[in-house]
Structure 1
Amino acid sequence: MSEYYANDKEVVPARPEAAVLSGKEKQVHSVTESTDNSDRQEPEQKGRMARMFTYMKTRDFWLVVLIGQIIALANISSSTFSSLLSMKGTSIPAFQTLWVYILLNLTYTSITIYKYGFKKWFRLLYTDCWRYFILSFLDVEGNYFMVLAYRYTSLLSAELFSFWTIIVIVIISFTFLKVRYHITQYLGVFVACGGMGLLIASDYLRGANYPAADQLKGDLFALLASSIYAFSNLFEEYMVSKRPMYEVIGQMGFWGMLINGVQCAIFDRGSFDGAVWDGQVGGYIAGYTIVLFIFYTLAPILLRISSATFFNISLLTMNFWGLIIGIQVFHYSVHFLYPIAFVMIVAGLFVYFVGEGKLGESFKPWLGKNQELGVDGVGTARRAQETGHAIV
């Protein structure tokens, strides 16, 4: 830097005879100065470009993408098992999901009691029951109303409302949680949603749609379910950033089991009469329970290390994985737009993290400058600050 300022002083010398330079001298001087500036600007530009891809060079980034796709695959697998149950004549949505909450409760509430002891666990129920009741209620009702939406509206209409979930999450995060998105994140969302648009278009072109029994009612149910999902994902992201994961999942299982059990007793009683019960149905219910158990186990990790926004962008690939499963199970045909759409969605996932720092989205604005208000656990920024990696 000192040499740069020394050269700058030579441009306006104190001697009068050097004040007037010939055209050739001016040209030489200007070339020398511009070369000096370009030499200094080039490393700065390279540094900025390197910083733009900082997070994408970390191990955590690739784990985020992998976990997101496992979750998407688990989610579409649950839909496949639901379709198989429906084809067998056993479609009891609340009853199916009840077993998921029972397994979550047995697994993670047991871990919570082991960690806390019965006294502290009962104190947890007394002090924080309302938080976890609301979280579980949102989760149960989001699933319930989406099932109703698919019953009344068309497939394409229901798919379109996946965009609404992302929009609601971005608005709420920006307004209430002080999350500030940069331009590449908006661009990533746009590219991924564009890929989802191609998926919907390909479904339309290959005739995958089905007639709506009551379009308006179904669309309203889909809109309500998508909005509930947005609040549920954000609330879960907030809770797992402040509390241990086993506590949050255990409480979701505990309250979800109670809420879903009551709902099943009220609304699903008539569905049991005409249901088919055999070993195949039992296998489908077991498969449905296992894949959703995986979904609920991995979701908090993804919400910690990324965000509810990225969580829902990852789920946009479900239709592609659904096609892969459908080719094997239901003998679906492949439209040429599907691979293009999948590439666009995956590209959106990568673009979303361009410009992120080493901590990525694991740094939560509501946890303080040093994340001192958050829990130290798998996927958190506090863990990343201490060990260099948020997960492993």
Structure 2
Amino acid sequence: MAVSTTITAEGTAFNIYTDPLDGDRDGNTITATTSEVEAVEAGLHKLEAKGVHWYSYLTTMDFWVVIAVGQVLSLCITASNTFSSFLANAGTNIPAFQTLFNYVLLTLIYLPITLYYIGFRAWLRIVWRNGWKYFILSFLDVEGNYFTVLAYRYTNILSAQLLNFWSIVCVVILSFLLLKVRYKLTQIAGILICCGGMGLLLASDHMTGGNGGPGVDILRGDLFGLLGATLYGVSNVFEEWFVSKRPVYEVLSFLGLFGVLINGVQAAIFDRDSFESATWNGSVAGYLVGYTLALTIFYSLAPIILRMGSAAFFDISLLTANFWGVIIGIHVFGYVIHFLYPIAFVLIIFGLVVYFLAGSMLGDSKKPWLGDNQRDGVAGIGTAKLKALNEARRDGLGVEGASGQV
């Protein structure tokens, strides 16, 4: 599966070795050779040396892709929330069990792909070496899902949505402290503008009484929501770190596999009584299928935005989910839209644009924890490393057969 590539630049020949797994069939990590590092460095220098204006990144295809993927993810979240509402209205309230199918589907899709590329022996080596890291990632993700759902059970929706802002705060703080991310003023301004747009949505809901109201136990619900938002923030940062270093299919296969184990045990313990008293019919089965497909698409696309953008951009992109939820609510539940909703949506999109102002042509795809030349990163879809190699090819540096990783 390896590809040997020769790049000739300014009289210097670079021999590049790329492998779809960042490792051999025995699971041994393949470190970048000196010539490969030099080739990537040449490509990165070419990209960063281009004369750019404050709006240059906005004119690239990468920007529009990351914006579009962010909105698709928001629609997936909206769809999963809608199907959850259908299940609750039908008398089927099994938060842990209903998410189990998502992890099962992720395993069925991505584990065979991983085994096909690296073989079973290499897979076992990865389990031995990095299995505990993937277990932590899955645990954070499963518990983030679980406690967020619990928050909606005990508190009102307005309070739960306000707590979602905390995940953005966690992502920014953790990225700054652990991943050495340094935010530009425009990025901070973009985040604040997006949060302002979300504030308008919440204010509109409060004025119309759509998201307020009493809760069963608001204090307990708020604490669950705060815990869920914290776990989400940590897992998003951890996943960004993972997908920048390893192939996407490997990350998702372990996320699904360990997610099945963790979520399965949790469902058996906490959803047993709810499962027995739940309503089971054809409609409920359809809702579960819709919920699972929406969530699986979400998990499959999330690594793209984490590579091309960042965990912070990922979280603020999802703020538009409330707007899409209202659009669906108008046609499905008969909601009446408030005039602040379109204004808030435009404000959030404007904040996403501002986030990338005065940036480089690489946007957030160049990760500081991978080294200046992205030595520790994978040459996968959306990564700065692959962009550097592609730039060399487009610049006529004699690249033949360059191949990136998923």
Identify the TM-score tier after normalising by the shorter chain. Answer: 0.7 to 0.9
Counterpart for residue 148 of structure 2: 146
Q: Counterpart amino acid of 1:262? A: V
Q: Deviations over 1:101-121 (max 9, x none)?
A: 000001001100111111111
Structure 2: how far apart are the matches of 1:270 and 1:151?
A: 16
The one-letter amino acid of 1:382's match is K
**Which position in structure 1 is the counterpart of 2:288?**
285
Q: What percent identity do the matched residue pairs reach? A: 57
CA distance in 2 between counterparts of 1:118 and 1:293 reads 24
Q: Select the residue among 219, 230, 240 that pairs with 1:227.
A: 230
Q: Structure 1: how far apart are the matches of 2:234 and 2:362? A: 24
Contact 2:168/2:233, CA 8 A, preserved across alignment:
yes
Paired residues of 1:51 and 1:357 also in contact (CA < 8 A): no
User: Aligned letter for 1:170?
Assistant: V
**CA shift for structure 1 position 51:** 2.0
Q: Return closer, same or farther for 1:49/1:165 CA change in 2, 3 Å cut-off.
A: farther
Q: Report the residue type matching 1:157 in the other structure.
A: S
* More deviation, 340-349/271-280: 271-280
Tell me: CA distance 1:50–1:126, structure 2 relative to 1, closer, same or farther (3 Å).
closer
Equivalent of 1:173 in 148, 152, 175 = 175
Distance in 2 between residues matched to 1:73 and 1:247, nearest whole Å: 25
Maintained 8 Å contact 1:105/1:253: yes
1:97 corresponding residue in structure 2:
99
Deviations 1:322-365 (CA, angstroms, capped at 9, x unpaired)? 00111111111100110110010000000000011111000000
| Conservation of the 8 A alpha-carbon contact between 1:60 and 1:391 | no
The unaligned stretches of length 5 or more in structure 2 are 1-49, 395-403
Aligned twin of 1:136: 138
Instruction: Give the aligned partner of residue 256 of structure 1.
Output: 259
**Residues in 1 aligned to 2:222 and 2:79: alpha-carbon distance in whole angstroms:** 24
| Aligned partner of residue 364 in structure 2, secondary structure | helix
SS at match of 2:150: helix
| 1:304 pairs with one of 304, 307, 322 | 307
TM norm structure 1: 0.86
Which of the residues 276, 279, 282 maps onto 2:279? 276
CA contact (8 A) 2:164 2:226 kept: no
Give the secondary-structure state (helix, strand or coil) at the position aligned to 1:263.
helix
The answer as to whether partners of 1:305 and 1:380 remain within 8 angstroms in 2 is yes
Question: 1:217-267: per-residue Cα shift (whole Å, max 9, x none)?
Answer: 111111111111110000000000000000000000000000000001101
Larger radius of gyration: 1
Q: Distance in 1 between matches of 2:263 and 2:105?
A: 13
Query: Matched residues in 2 for 1:157 and 1:358: separation?
Result: 39
Q: Return the offset for 1:123.
A: 1.3
Could you tell me how far apart the structure 2 residues matched to 1:255 and 1:210 are? Answer: 37
Normalising by structure 2, what TM-score?
0.83
Runs of 4+ in 1 over 4 A off after TM superposition: 389-392
1:126 matched to 2:128: yes
Partner letter of residue 210 of structure 1? Answer: G
C-alpha deviation, 1:210, in angstroms:
2.9
Distance 1:106 1:304 in 2: 24
Return the offset for 1:52. Answer: 1.1
Shift of 1:369: 0.5
Kept after mapping to 2: 8 A contact 1:379/1:391? no
| Amino acid corresponding to residue 174 of structure 2 in structure 1 | I
SS at match of 1:356: coil
- One-letter code aligned to 2:222: D
Q: Is the partner of 1:341 in helix, strand or coil?
A: helix
Aligned pairs (5 A) from 1:210-225: 210-225=213-228
Alignment RMSD: 1.7
Unmatched 5+ stretches in structure 1: 1-47
d(CA) in 2 for partners of 1:182, 1:380? 20
Give 1 or 2: higher helix fraction.
Answer: 1
Determine if the alignment matches structure 1 residue 237 to structure 2 residue 240.
yes
Confirm or deny: 8 A CA contact 2:247 2:405 kept in the other structure: no
